[in-house]
Amino acid sequence: DQQVKQNSPSLSVQEGRISILNCDYTNSMFDYFLWYKKYPAEGPTFLISISSIKDKNEDGRFTVFLNKSAKHLSLHIVPSQPGDSAVYFCAAKRNSGGSNYKLTFGKGTLLTVNP
């Protein structure tokens, strides 16, 4: 039972254009969402996060949007650069209601940015 779904296994974009990676979740108790980036032979690294009290969070070229009613979030990268080519994982957790710090991850989306 996948509680966090990334339905696009891969995405290819041209350098300089926008990359949009999508993520859906089914567990309405999730209230904190994160994106991780993973290069080959390395562990995932934290990229950006958003709390359920917000609908947008921006950090440089990276923006995460959250639509709670649709249980959907997206990561926008503008402009995309070849160094952004990596696997991107969407993750979610429940921050409230006690100590539950475990993250539930999606399967990941492989982003390829072509020069």
Minimum CB distance to another protein, residue 107 (Å): 3
**Which one of 21, 23, 34, 73 is in contact with another protein (CB under 8 A)?**
34
Q: SS3 letters for the chain?
A: CCCEECCCCEEEEECCCCEEEEEEECCCCCCEEEEEEECCCCCCEEEEEEECCCCEEEECCEEEEEECCCCEEEEEECCCCHHHCEEEEEEEECCCCCCCCCCEECCCEEEEEEC
Minimum CB distance to another protein, residue 59 (Å): 13
Query: Of 11-19, 53-61, 62-70, 96-104, which part binds another protein (CB under 8 A)?
Result: 96-104
Residue 11 in the binding site for another protein (CB under 8 A): no
Residue 64 in the binding site for another protein (CB under 8 A): no
Query: Are the C-beta atoms of 47 and 88 separated by less than 8 Å?
Result: yes
- If the CB atoms of residues 30 and 89 are measured against another protein, the closer one turns out to be 89
- If the CB atoms of residues 42 and 53 are measured against another protein, the closer one turns out to be 42
Query: Are the C-beta atoms of 36 and 45 separated by less than 8 Å?
Result: yes
Query: Of 16-24, 43-51, 56-64, 65-73, which part binds another protein (CB under 8 A)?
Result: 43-51
Count of residues binding another protein (CB under 8 A)?
20
